Structure 1
Amino acid sequence: MKKQQPNKFEIHFSYIKRQLNGRKLGTHNSGTFALDSNGCVVPGASTEIENLANNPLIGQMAKGIIQRWAVCQSLDFSHQLELGIRYFDLRVATKPDCQEIFCVHQLYGSKVTDLTDAVDKYLKAHPHEVVLIDFNHFYCFEAEHHIQLATLLLSVFGTKICPNCDLQSLTLRRMWEDKKQVIIFYQSPEVEMFPEFFLSDTIISPWPNTPDKELCKQYLNQKLTQKHKKFVVCQGVLTPTLATIMAGLFGSLENWTKPWITDFTTWIRVSDPCQHHLNIVITDFVHNSEFIQTVIDLNKCKVKAELH
């Protein structure tokens, strides 16, 4: 029987031989592929969004517009993993009269258990892969909800979780030897008692917060040339303003951001890698561009350079 060849996107971590300093592929707002325009808006949404969504005359139409401009990924967690994504950027919230915790972005999306199930299944099938999960925004969360989420993560991943440690000593070789496959960033002091989680002081993710391509690149160039003794996320994302959305009322974030993703991918390719101190690169709608292959190729070049 012919031996099955591994998917080229499944082995990109193999190019990072020692330190966890290669560029990890990630998705921005990873859990937004299933936002529900028929449900309610997330507590904590802006007053303008809440007023539009709750308007009895235009509420449903408004939520359709909100959905099109809030969805940042089209692929579910399993397909993201298969494509090569190893970092998940998550906003989570509870829902009134519901025991589940959801991935959100203005609207409610997939359940967090969808993420944990997909990652757990993938890691069992790929024992040398490492996945990073970043919980960085919490809405309608009380102390008991943090305990609920922490308990879920510990019960699903168990001994696969790499505990918080000195980042300078964290290597893939060490993780493989210790049979660790998951790094969980939990950016809330509510879980300080759990040694399994990396807290907010271990990761930085500068947000350009602009709809302008050139300003975004200028911001990233400025921020990513600074050294940090922590994980550094490069947010290659444009943020539409209200005026942007009004101008493209019946458009979508996906169509609006397509030219930028191509431009951002080129920026990654031509920028001097030695000048940018980053570990993780994220953007929107990763399946629509050469983004993934570009990052993989850069990691290959980095390893070759270190070997010579």
Structure 2
Amino acid sequence: MEKKLKAGPDWMSKLPPVLWDHPLNSLAIPGSHHSFSFYTDKEARIDRPSDPIYRQFVEEFGELAGEISYRWTVTQTTTFTQQLNLGIRYFDIRVTARGEEKEDKNVYLRNGPNVLQALKEFKVWIGMHPQEVIIIDFRVVNKMSPLHHKYLLANITQDLFEEKLLPYTGNVKGITLRNMWSLAKQIIVIYPKECTYGYSSVWPNDCTEYVITESQSAKDLFEKLESKYQHGRSPHMFLCQNGVMTPTRTYLDTHFHGTLKHKLSMPATKTILYWAMDKDISFGDVNIIVADFVESSDFCNKVVSINTEIKPRPKNHSFEPESRACILL
């Protein structure tokens, strides 16, 4: 019986050799939702207008809206380095420009530091863990001009990660750990497609399929994950399966004094882990599993362990192409 694999700072390098040639888009990979939100300051005012929860409550509650927003928008309490050491290998990055458009260097994490300053944590970390692979997905790029995009992408591709970036090939299914290691590459950067022209080291975001459930109950989250699973997936894309629940104004009205972590995030993490634990990477059932507060519920260990718990079972995976079933092995 295969020993259960644990997460940690070097879990990829400890995978069984048979998985070194397994497509990266069908390994079980722990990811963090709104990965940078640990930077958020309760007193921060800079980017409050861009926060929908703040906008919903500011007219009614004034400055108290900032407190409400903080309790319901912060999704992580651990730093990038701490998340990496836990085993997180997919990061959901959301950035915004500040100040005048001509100030092309003013690209920040929302209510946080300059994004390039924050990304230096990744550069330091990969130098100490040469066989680990990180996916950095710029999910939201807000208020950014062409100059902002040019500045950010130039710094990422030339100064920050130049030698460690996997060049774009269009072939997601061909990415394996062995290939990454042979090329001495450790970082895959995903960026909005319309901004990637001319940057051969950046992958456009149409290489990723996102399963976003917009749920407020564990039952609904489970049913939506299962429904998407039953409909199949593309074998040629990363699959980002979100184990998160999202508050609506109606929900907040009835859970006003609660917090995202205790009311929605913890139940959501337990739900997606329960849903995922009987899935099999041999059939591409799971890929990037994303959660809030990734230090909780033994999240990283449970996701990583799926990779060594391959479960032989009958499954019809000879579907017609339009079913988008994953035909990998």
TM interval, shorter chain, is 0.7 to 0.9
Range moving further from structure 2, 240-249 or 190-199: 240-249
Determine the structure 2 residue equivalent to 1:280. Answer: 288
The AA in structure 2 aligned to 1:164 is Y
Measure how far apart 1:110 and its partner are: 4.2
CA offset at residue 115 of structure 1? Answer: 3.3
**What does the per-residue CA deviation read over 1:186-227, in whole Å, with 9 as the maximum and x for residues that have no partner?**
024122211111102211112101112112111111223412
The letter of the residue matching 2:209 is I
Q: Which letter does structure 1 place at the counterpart of 2:246? A: T
Structure 2 partner of 1:61: 64
8 Å contact from structure 1 (residues 31, 77) kept in 2? yes
Q: Secondary structure at the match of 1:17?
A: helix
What is the identity, as a one-letter code, of the residue corresponding to 2:107? I
- Structure 1 segment 262-281 matched on structure 2, within 5 A: 262-271=270-279, 277-281=285-289
Q: How does 1:1-308 map to 2 (within 5 A)?
A: 9-14=8-13, 15=15, 16-19=19-22, 20=24, 21-38=26-43, 39-42=45-48, 44-46=50-52, 49-50=54-55, 52-53=57-58, 55=59, 58-96=61-99, 99-104=105-110, 108-154=111-157, 155-165=159-169, 166-225=171-230, 226-228=232-234, 229-257=236-264, 258-271=266-279, 277-302=285-310
**What per-residue deviation string (whole Å, max 9, x for no partner) do you get for residues 249-283 of structure 1?**
23210111223322322222134556663321101
What one-letter code is carried by the residue in structure 2 that aligns with 1:86?
R
In 2, the alpha carbon distance for the partners of 1:275 and 1:303 equals 10
Shift of 1:123: 0.3
Q: With structure 2 as the length reference, what TM-score do the two structures score?
A: 0.82
Instruction: Check 1:30–1:259 CA distance in 2 against 1; reply closer, same or farther (3 A cut).
Output: same
Distance 1:215 1:303, change over 3 A: closer
Report the secondary structure of 1:64's partner residue: helix
* TM-aligned CA deviation for residue 246 of structure 1: 2.3
Aligned residue-pair number: 293
Whole-angstrom distance in 2 between the partners of 1:280 and 1:288: 17
Give the structure 1 partner of residue 322 of structure 2.
none
Which shows bigger deviation, 212-221 or 117-126? 212-221
| Contiguous gaps of at least 5 residues in structure 1 | 1-6
Deviations 1:88-122 (A, max 9, x none): 01211112257432223xxx234322431111011
- Asked if 1 retains the 8 angstrom alpha-carbon contact of 2:222 and 2:271, the reply is no
205 and 256 in structure 1: CA distance in 2 versus 1, 3 angstrom threshold: same
Q: Deviations over 1:2-49 (max 9, x none)?
A: xxxxx9512321313212121111001101112133313355444x73
- The one-letter code matched in structure 2 to 1:160 is K
The 1-side partners of 2:188 and 2:63 are apart by 39
1:61 is displaced (CA, Å) by 1.2
Q: Decide whether the 8 Å contact of 2:218 with 2:267 is kept in 1.
A: no
Q: For residues 82 and 70 of structure 1, what CA distance do their matches in structure 2 show?
A: 24
Provide the C-alpha distance between the structure 2 equivalents of 1:301 and 1:17, rounded to a whole number of angstroms: 15
Alignment CA distance shift 1:249-1:66 (3 Å): same
Measured in 1, the distance between the counterparts of 2:293 and 2:237 equals: 26
Structure 2 gaps of 5+ residues are 1-5, 314-329
Code of the aligned partner of 1:253? L
Cα 1:276–1:224 shift into 2, 3 Å: farther
What is the alpha-carbon distance in structure 2 between the residues aligned to residue 302 and residue 279 of structure 1? 14
Distance 2:254 2:281 in 1: 36
Counterparts of 1:274 and 1:304 in 2: how far apart (Å)?
9
The sequence identity of aligned pairs, in percent, is 25
After TM superposition, the structure 1 stretch with the greater mean CA deviation from structure 2, 218-227 or 129-138, is 218-227
Secondary structure of 1:205 counterpart: strand
| 1:117-140 deviation line (CA, Å, top 9, x unaligned) | 111011000111110000021111
Residues 168/269 of structure 1: CA separation in 2 closer, same or farther (3 Å cut): closer
